[in-house]
Structure 1
Amino acid sequence: MFKATIYVNYKPSVLDPKAEVIKKTLGRLGQTNVASVLVGKYFELTLSADSKEAAEQQVDRICDEMLANVNMESYRYDVAAVTA
């Protein structure tokens, strides 16, 4: 068994309206030293796979096909063996 932790964010070239609203609101609250805000999605998957490489290939496919809009978003993930 393997556990995958996946992080999905907008690509740097894509405007993130939620992040901009949060940044502006922080400024109004006096938090004027915040230079940037990144809003994203976080997923945890537990996979049954024969090897770490097979689990990584499966996670990559899942991200490409469902979890991330690859035109606008990038993703990264970590895969680790789950010990009982």
Structure 2
Amino acid sequence: MINARVTVTLKNGVLDPQGKAIEGALGALGFDSIGHVRQGKVFDLQIDTADKTKAEADLKAMCEKLLANTVIENYTIALD
């Protein structure tokens, strides 16, 4: 079994209204040292195989088909 983490973030240049809202809320809570916030999402998955090459290929396909909108998002895959 392989543990994997997929991190999905917006591409540079894509507007991030949720990040801006978080940035504003942090400022309102007194965290004035925050200059810029970008939000993303993280997926932790367990892959039922011992073959890291196959697991990585499957994860890439999952990202391309469902987990990330590759028009506006980037993703990274980390395997344990």
1:2 aligns with 2:6: no
Q: Which residue identity is paired with 2:51?
A: S
Deviating more after overlay: 63-72 vs 28-37 = 28-37
Q: Which residue identity is paired with 2:38?
A: L
Match for residue 41 of structure 2?
41
Shift in Å, 1:28: 2.4
**Percentage of matched positions with identical amino acids:** 34
Deviating more after overlay: 25-34 vs 65-74 = 25-34
Distance 2:57 2:74 in 1: 16
Moved over 3 A (4+): none
Match for residue 16 of structure 1?
16
Deviations 1:1-40 (A, max 9, x none): 1111111111111011110011112222322210111211
Q: Which runs of 5+ in 2 are unaligned?
A: none
Q: Which residue identity is paired with 1:14?
A: V
Match for residue 73 of structure 1?
73
Distance 1:47 1:39 in 2: 26
Q: Secondary structure at the match of 1:41?
A: strand
Q: Which TM-score applies when normalising by structure 1?
A: 0.86
How many equivalent pairs are there? 80
Deviations 1:55-77 (A, max 9, x none): 10110110111000000111111
RMSD: 1.2
Q: Which runs of 5+ in 1 are unaligned?
A: none
Distance 1:30 1:4 in 2: 35
